[in-house]
Structure 1
Amino acid sequence: MTQIMELMEKRAKAWEAAKAFLNTHSQNGGMVSAEDAATYDKMEKEVTDLTKDIERLQRQDEIEKMLNQPTSAPITNMPGKTGDKADEKTGRASAAYKKAFWDNIRHPGNPVIRDVLEEGTDGNGGYLVPVEFEHTLVQALNENNIMRTIGCKIITTQNERKIPVANGHTQAAWTAENGAYTESNPTFGQTSIDAFKLTDLIKVSDELLSDSFFDIEGYISEEFGRAFGEAEEDAFINGAIQVGATAIDRPTGLMIAAASGGAPSGVTTAANNKIDADELISLVYSLKAPYRSKAKFLMNDATVAVIRKLKDGNGAYMWQPSLTAGEPDRLLGFPLYTSPKVPTMTAGARAIAFGDFSCYWIADRAGRSIKRLNELYATNGQVGFTCTERVDGKLILAEGIKILDMHA
């Protein structure tokens, strides 16, 4: 269409030029010389040729529009079946699987239900939760786990996932004409994301399960989501724990010692029980500039209570409340998030994390499962439910996050 408009403008200008030429070169009675007539004929021919070009392009446009018209009505349902089936979900996302799953939770043992649930059978005797319910559970985890909100989340289908990490960069060098290139030797490392097992068990009375008005789906989602969220956040921040003489493997915590996989120290305070404004500014600039564009603060509420009282040299508070619903407060212009799992301001504690938290990866092993325990609590008139997930968390790029350590 643009080409047609250009030709039409060119034709209009050519025609105006031809008319002007004829008007200025005609003699009494409208006669022109043979030489001027030949010139005019050429100008008129140009107008005629442009007209033919425009008409040809317009016909071409009409033909293309005609050819682009659909030749038949689109198929919106499965051949041989009535009704619109195109949007029907399959597998664990299907309505039939979801209904069968929750019917089985309430009334296990129905063979028809089991036929449908074959899609979700696993090796532990439980059933994989329906897709929509798993999304609900993940949402509950996010609401109870700030690390899932600010970290980088991935889904893996393997027990261990290898992640290549560049340990260095190439170096450019000025080179004389015909000179030899200077070699660079970048180095690469490798880290791995594992899958640690997290479980929970709850008991529900037979009466509640029999009551069709009781929202068993909502209750299980909320309870498992809250419990898993708290356990995950503690692990993502503080790492492995010791239960008696047994060490329990968990995800690699962000706030553990740098030598063990935690974030490196950016600033160490002068006192063991307070933080001043200069130390916060030093923490910000201990982080490389490329990471500061997406950087955030993470600390617990007790530390925020101390930070909120700090002022800059002009007497203005360094902490600024959020003016938009759903947005975090800000400290030194950067978003501020809190978690009760972050250590408090005590001697030697790692009290504040600052950086780009997308450098901390959270890997979900695809699929959570729920298992019903019929006999274990039967004498108490209860039914048990277990939920299992496998997840890991690890700081992939150490230089992306810095820690404020309290003086020991």
Structure 2
Amino acid sequence: MTNLGPVAPEMKSGSADLAALADGFDEFMATFAAFRDENDQRLRDIEQRKSADVVTTEKVDRISEALDRQKRAIDEFVLKRARPALGRDGQKGVADLEHKEAFESYMRSGEEQKLRTIETKDMSYGSNVDGGYVVPQTIEAEIGRRLAEISPIRAIASVRQVSGPTLRKPFTVTGPVASWAAETGSRTKTDSPVLDQLQFPTAELYAMPAATPSLLEDAVVDLDQWIVSEVETAFAEKEGDAFINGSGTNQPKGFLAYDQEDDSTRSWGEIGTLDTGEDGAFAATSPADKLLDLIYALKAGYRQNAHWVMNRKTQAMIRKMKDSEGNYLWQPPTSAGARAMLLGFPLVEAEDMPDVAAGATPIAFGDFKRGYLIVDRAGVRVLRDPYSAKPYVLFYTTKRVGGGIQDFDAIKLLKFGSE
């Protein structure tokens, strides 16, 4: 009998660790087989009776939810196994070790003098208008790496680090200007390209993890790892929503916040959409056709690195669909940590995507590495606050991040409407 509970492999080491992961993935595949069998029965009921058996439908939905839980549990386990400890002392230079020791002293006791000396020596300023000190590079790099693993859009978009508050990126409105000429023929002057500029301002993202005095006094506790683990999820959740729905005011601009227009009539600066033909639903007949249309709305060069982006509820709806030959459109990942596939393209689950509703755009498809740019300003800062929440010590941790669309041809949306 298939266990429909979430997979939660016990954290072990070595071969036992890998065995637990393998068992969890086997359980996931067994659940998918059970889902496929029950959904086949549901479809047969619809063909024979024009409606599905209520008990069968409820069972299909229950198994589908179990698949989601098990996939999330496996992904979390893979992520934890992939997290190495921050750099060992033998792998660091003298300057890095000095910065790490000074930063740890500041975290534990509030001693600032060593950090002040180091940052003055490095020709950087110790405190900005919000106060705080720059964390060692190893911690900043680890925060960035983990965000890329758990933030769905960051994992597939382009990421660029800058030192200033805004990244300005020029682009040609008219496209490249070129002409043909014979080997010995004269070269006529080409038209000058029309240039414009995209701007990606960075905004402050912050978290305030709290520590007890006993934790800070415990010499065994690795404070580098503690601060990274405390802020990674908070940062990832806020980023994930902003990269999709952000307004662009004091936060990144999400790709759903741009103007949307039918793909056949859109212009630069607008995201192209395709309609399903039904308000709040797929078409009653051949619903997969619209997914195929969305794939081929992209130019061939963009399809090579394209991903689907949708939330769990939309994925569960598509998971029940078959093509004209009876094959399921949604296919499970081939290994633990891999992505599920939809019509041959990887699927990214982003819970901040909207649910299926009339006029909504809950499905995105495109090359997000070419289409969406995330801008990180160098430097993660920490300000120690032992006063605001006594007896706890707060660590006001900030980073500056921006984002927006850099290529409007690279992303398409499926709109659940008839116009």
SS at match of 2:221: coil
How far does residue 361 in structure 1 lie from its aligned partner after superposition? 0.6
- Give the alignment partner of residue 362 of structure 1, picking from 374, 398, 405: 374
Q: Counterparts of 2:397 and 2:301 in 1: how far apart (Å)?
A: 41
Greater mean deviation of Cα atoms: 287-296 or 265-274: 265-274
Q: 2:340 is aligned with what amino acid?
A: D
Partner in structure 2 of residue 393 of structure 1: 403
Partner in structure 2 of residue 54 of structure 1: none
Q: 2:356 is aligned with what amino acid?
A: M
Contact 1:263 1:403 in 2 (8 A): no
Contact 1:173 1:182 in 2 (8 A): no
- Give the alignment partner of residue 334 of structure 1, picking from 345, 350, 354: 345
Pair 263,338 (structure 1): closer, same or farther in 2 beyond 3 Å:
farther
Contact 2:310 2:350 in 1 (8 A): yes
Q: 2:93 is aligned with what amino acid?
A: K
Contact 2:281 2:417 in 1 (8 A): no
Q: Which runs of 5+ in 1 are unaligned?
A: 1-85, 242-247
Contact 2:323 2:329 in 1 (8 A): yes
How far does residue 348 in structure 1 lie from its aligned partner after superposition? 1.5
Pair 381,183 (structure 1): closer, same or farther in 2 beyond 3 Å:
closer
Q: 2:97 is aligned with what amino acid?
A: A
Q: Counterparts of 1:303 and 1:235 in 2: how far apart (Å)?
A: 20
Q: 2:410 is aligned with what amino acid?
A: G
How far does residue 95 in structure 1 lie from its aligned partner after superposition? 0.8
Map 1:3-402 onto structure 2 (within 5 A): 89=93, 91=95, 94-109=96-111, 111=113, 114-116=116-118, 118=120, 119=122, 121-123=126-128, 124-167=130-173, 168-170=175-177, 172=179, 181=188, 183-240=190-247, 248-258=249-259, 264-275=271-282, 276-359=287-370, 360-377=372-389, 380-402=390-412
How far does residue 104 in structure 1 lie from its aligned partner after superposition? 1.4
Q: 1:334 is aligned with what amino acid?
A: F
Partner in structure 2 of residue 46 of structure 1: none
Q: Which runs of 5+ in 2 are unaligned?
A: 1-89, 262-267
Contact 1:299 1:338 in 2 (8 A): yes
How far does residue 147 in structure 1 lie from its aligned partner after superposition? 1.1
How far does residue 395 in structure 1 lie from its aligned partner after superposition? 0.6
Pair 288,90 (structure 1): closer, same or farther in 2 beyond 3 Å:
farther
SS at match of 1:350: coil
SS at match of 2:255: coil
Pair 228,89 (structure 1): closer, same or farther in 2 beyond 3 Å:
same
Q: Counterparts of 1:88 and 1:324 in 2: how far apart (Å)?
A: 35
How far does residue 174 in structure 1 lie from its aligned partner after superposition? 8.4
Q: 1:153 is aligned with what amino acid?
A: V
Q: Counterparts of 2:254 and 2:369 in 1: how far apart (Å)?
A: 14
Q: Counterparts of 2:290 and 2:112 in 1: how far apart (Å)?
A: 65
Q: Counterparts of 2:345 and 2:112 in 1: how far apart (Å)?
A: 56
* Count of residue correspondences: 313
Q: TM-score, normalised by structure 2?
A: 0.68
Q: Counterparts of 2:403 and 2:115 in 1: how far apart (Å)?
A: 36
Q: Counterparts of 2:393 and 2:109 in 1: how far apart (Å)?
A: 11
SS at match of 2:168: strand
Q: Counterparts of 1:263 and 1:90 in 2: how far apart (Å)?
A: 51
SS at match of 1:149: coil
Q: 1:352 is aligned with what amino acid?
A: I
Pair 110,304 (structure 1): closer, same or farther in 2 beyond 3 Å:
closer
How far does residue 250 in structure 1 lie from its aligned partner after superposition? 1.4
SS at match of 2:362: strand
The percentage of counterpart residues that share the same residue type is: 32
How far does residue 255 in structure 1 lie from its aligned partner after superposition? 1.4
Partner in structure 2 of residue 79 of structure 1: none
Contact 1:263 1:395 in 2 (8 A): no
1:210-258, CA deviations, whole angstroms, 9 ceiling, x for partnerless residues? 22233433222112111011101100010128xxxxxx53111011232
Q: Counterparts of 2:270 and 2:363 in 1: how far apart (Å)?
A: 11
| Aligned CA-pair RMSD | 2.8
How far does residue 325 in structure 1 lie from its aligned partner after superposition? 3.4
Q: Counterparts of 1:185 and 1:195 in 2: how far apart (Å)?
A: 32
Q: Counterparts of 1:280 and 1:209 in 2: how far apart (Å)?
A: 53
Contact 1:309 1:317 in 2 (8 A): yes
Q: Counterparts of 1:104 and 1:307 in 2: how far apart (Å)?
A: 51
Partner in structure 2 of residue 17 of structure 1: none
Q: Counterparts of 2:192 and 2:118 in 1: how far apart (Å)?
A: 57
